[in-house]
Amino acid sequence: MGRLTFAGLETRPGQVWGAVRLVPLVRDEPVAGLRMHPGALPETDHPRDGCWYVPHGLTAEWTGDGTAVPAFGTALRMPTSTVKRSRRPDSKHEQRTRIRFVPRRGALETYLPLAFKAPVIAWEEWSSRAFRQSLLPQPDRTYHGFLVDGLADALRVFEIHPGQCGVLVYVADALSGVLVTPHPDDYRALHPTLIEDSYGELIWRYSTLYDSVPEFATRLDASKVDSLADLRVQVDEARRDWAEFHDGTLAAGLLDPDYTFTETYEMADLSLVRYRPKFEAGRETHVGEAILDKKGRPAFLQSFRLSETQVRRGRLLEALAANEWHLERTAGALALTRPALVALLRNSDLDWMLRRDVVDHDLALRRRGQ
């Protein structure tokens, strides 16, 4: 368990376009030995190996000793026909230094199963459905960024700050997502791709319902400015005030909760993790992936805001896993009756994981008011 943090990053005043607010995150120094590239690269670049089409995704590349990673496309490589290809290192001297992220639309399908633990006792119907389809229902509908009113224009006209390595995207001051990169050049390359990301239905609706948000303009005390040095002090103080306000208010839904971190890959001194909070109804909920250093500071961070339906599913899956799929104990933990729990599972499209005779029996009891 732990919290997300913007340690190593400085929050700068946001820029507003209609209902869209973009808040920049700036680094004093890039993260050494790690770069992010737009696009998910295939294992091989040789055209005879097949035709590749990969939608919007990301690739992380790092060095084990902290030296700089060459900019994408500038490193010399041997032709693939003369290089031995392997899915895994052949020896301790050969180390993998590149990993690919699936596009965010597909990554969403991996977040909720983090709370999923299959029942110890399975039956034929459950196993058949799980292998033929998936452990979870299809994710809720998401919307590409170009469908979010004002986002494309905001990304086009907003200023990119010197040293900017990240951004928080707000629509009607609802935090829709965060992108943090290790290097300013990475952010410049990924900035236009925010329009290709997926956003939840809540964010799409807010973009159509709200025309504008307040600017939160910063005001300096002119009576204390007699020189450039005084002006610099006033500007630094205004930036600190804005950062405290933003991190404690606008970004509180992301930074305040305690998260469960699931480590998925070791990258030299960095760790790739997926994170999720405790699923609570009526609370802003973010899930995503991050690359953290040994102190928990983010070198890379990407988040997605879940809908209330997704939060409810995650909460039910957590409760079922914690109570080993015992319906009576799960219902008690959620302060529900067993028929009410089965009805809730059905409304969340999770009742297929239960035996049909159990579902029919409990729903009949609920209809009779028992």
Helices (H) and strands (E) in the chain, counts: 11, 14
What are the tens digits of pLDDT across the range 86-109?
Answer: 444 444 444 557 777 766 655 565
Is 58 contained in some domain?
Answer: no
Is 192 contained in some domain?
Answer: yes
- Give me 330's structure tokens: 């799960």
Is 154 contained in some domain?
Answer: yes
Q: Are residues 285 and 345 in the same domain?
A: no
Is 346 contained in some domain?
Answer: yes
**Residues 99-122: what's their mean pLDDT?**
61
Is 85 contained in some domain?
Answer: no
Is 313 contained in some domain?
Answer: no
Q: Are residues 240 and 290 in the same domain?
A: yes
**Residues 325-348: what's their mean pLDDT?**
88
What are the tens digits of pLDDT across the range 125-168?
Answer: 666 766 666 655 555 677 888 899 999 999 999 989 999 999 99
Q: Are residues 297 and 329 in the same domain?
A: no
| Full residue range of the structural domain in which residue 211 is found | 10-33+103-307
Distance CA 140, CA 305 (A): 12
Is 63 contained in some domain?
Answer: no
Q: Is the pLDDT of residue 251 over 90?
A: yes
- pLDDT at residue 80, rounded to an integer: 45
* Pair 175, 250: CB distance under 8 Å: yes
Q: Are residues 274 and 139 in the same domain?
A: yes
Q: Are residues 267 and 347 in the same domain?
A: no
Of the two residues 329 and 120, the one the predictor is more confident about is 329
**Among residues 307, 331, 351, which one ends one of the domains?**
307
Is 353 contained in some domain?
Answer: yes
Q: Are residues 227 and 343 in the same domain?
A: no
Q: Are residues 218 and 352 in the same domain?
A: no
Of the two residues 357 and 5, the one the predictor is more confident about is 5
Amino acid residing at 319: A
Give the total number of structural domains in the chain. 2
Q: Are residues 339 and 266 in the same domain?
A: no
